[in-house]
Amino acid sequence: MSVFEYAPAPESRSIVTLRSHYGLFVDGEFTDGGGAPLKTVNPATEEVLGEVAVGTDADVDRAVRAARKAFTRVWGPMRPADRGKYLFRIARLLQERAREFAVLETLDNGKPITESRDVDVPLAAAHFFYHAGWADKLEHAGLGPAPRPLGVAGQVIPWNFPLLMLAWKVAPALAAGNTVVLKPAETTPLTALLFAEVCQQADLPPGVVNIVTGAGDTGRAVVEHADVDKVAFTGSTEVGKQIARSVAGTRKALTLELGGKAANIVFDDAPVDQAVEGIVRGIFFNQGHVCCAGSRLLVQESVHDEVIASLQRRIGTLRVGDPLDKNTDVGAINSPEQLARIRELVGIGEAEGAHAWQPEGDLPERGYWHKPTVFTDVTPAHRIARDEVFGPVLSVLTFRTPDEAVAKANNTTYGLSAGIWSEKGSRILAVADQLRAGVVWANTFNQFDPTSPFGGYKQSGYGREGGRTGLRAYLKES
């Protein structure tokens, strides 16, 4: 019991109106789905938030036909500046309804309200603002004098950043003149359906954005539909491989943003306090449900003990609990399945001889929770140094020289992101040059911006999202 106990500071959920039943959003209208509805729950309390329709093959076909019609008749022929106006309008509506989106995201996902409020929603709006500006400037995208849209994009997104991943997918697709059929994750469909309301509010022509909820079968129907021109997927490497197989041999364009096992490299001349912050942000941000999470800490042996002591002290101040509390730092694990996966890998880590450490404190009784966990004495041969945990679990490895750091950092089947901590600029540049990762952060971590392309090497996928480079995924050269 500290002398300074922060009283509960819960964000009110009254701004959100939950419904007992949510439909699909097809051709500008909410409709029933053919499948047996799913229940979506608040992972922090196990409370059922509502029933959500499940799209069947027929529903997906309806959505793709609506998207095709909107592409050929309305959105494709529309003046690019007018498409931009719709996107600006959507961006402003996201800002106006930011608190509603933030609370709903936290309820459905389990992430702390400070993150949905300060990161997810503002960044989602920023992606629409950024791409709205591109809509009438595509001839400057470096893809020839008059690049053309691909057509109908089938998009499947994960549960870790439900609204933000929607924005990463929908904003560039629409700006480039495509229409979309989007399948949100089965455990986090609610903000996508609220976004559908925003599309109505913005008077977006029917069929430009279609949202079909459901589980894996619905996603497969979207990806495999013959009239889809472009498939974009963010999620696990395992599902990504299945999608790559099913798309192979078709005319469909494909971008995949898959798993990661990022190295966060701390050199002995690092700004230690800020590096510790970066390590914490790297692995405990969003409960570690981040594909680019800094899940492997590579720390130079000469500062290992100092950095770990500092890190443990800092983790001791993390507040784990009610995601709606404005002082919560680490929220709930999104689903019992994910929690089981994290526990399994933590068990393997202990069995393999790595040393696990967790801070003091109790977890809430209801809901799905996992304490921030740090494994020391991890070697590159350990499963917890190789497999993506996708949870608040950090594996600490050491190195002696920059060459060894680079070799260990690159010794992974993934290559999504990496971090470098050093006060020496020349070292940062030299090491960054050798890292096989799509994003390399220097003296920071998990910073996102719509102007900056994001994507992976190796089994972290292909294609880029964001920035001018990201437009390439939704345009044909003329």
Q: Is 257 a catalytic residue?
A: yes
Q: Least distance to another protein from the beta carbon of 279, Å?
A: 11
**Which residue from 197, 224, 277, 404 is in contact with another protein, where contact means CB under 8 A?**
277
- The answer to whether the CB of 27 falls within 8 A of the CB of 206 is yes
118 binds another protein (CB under 8 A): yes
Q: Least distance to another protein from the beta carbon of 266, Å?
A: 11
- Interface stretch with another protein, choices 243-251, 274-282, 368-376, 405-413 (CB under 8 A): 274-282
β-sheet with 417-421: strand ranges across: 355-357, 373-376, 393-399, 296-300, 263-266, 417-421, 439-442
Rank residues 150 and 280 by Cβ distance to another protein and give the closer one: 280
Q: In the stretch 302-341, what mask flags binding to another protein with x, by CB under 8 A? A: ---------------x--------xx--------------
Question: β-strands 296-300, 230-234: how paired?
Answer: unpaired
Where are the alpha helices (H) located in 5-97, listed in sequence order? 57-70, 80-96
* Interaction residues for another protein, span 377-436 (CB under 8 A): 423
For 3, residues 6+ apart whose C-beta sits below 8 A from its C-beta are: none
For 460, residues 6+ apart whose C-beta sits below 8 A from its C-beta are: 237, 257, 258, 259, 260, 291, 414, 415, 416, 437, 438
11, 115, 257, 465: the catalytic one is 257
- The answer to whether the CB of 288 falls within 8 A of the CB of 112 is no
Taking each helix axis from N to C end, the angle separating 80-96 and 121-134, rounded to the nearest 10 degrees, works out to 170
443 binds another protein (CB under 8 A): yes
Question: How buried is 14 (Cβ within 10 angstroms: 0-12 exposed, 13-18 middle, 19+ buried)?
Answer: exposed
Rank residues 51 and 269 by Cβ distance to another protein and give the closer one: 269
4 binds another protein (CB under 8 A): yes
- Interface stretch with another protein, choices 3-11, 94-102, 139-147, 192-200 (CB under 8 A): 3-11
Rank residues 96 and 118 by Cβ distance to another protein and give the closer one: 118
Q: Least distance to another protein from the beta carbon of 273, Å?
A: 5
Rank residues 72 and 274 by Cβ distance to another protein and give the closer one: 274
Rank residues 3 and 248 by Cβ distance to another protein and give the closer one: 3
- Pick from 205, 368, 344: which is nearest to 287 by CA? 368
Q: Least distance to another protein from the beta carbon of 446, Å?
A: 11
- How far apart (Å, rounded) are the C-alpha atoms in residues 285 and 283? 6
301 binds another protein (CB under 8 A): no
List residues with catalytic annotation: 257
Which residues here bind another protein, judged by CB under 8 A? 2-9, 114, 118, 269-274, 277-278, 317, 326-327, 423, 443-444
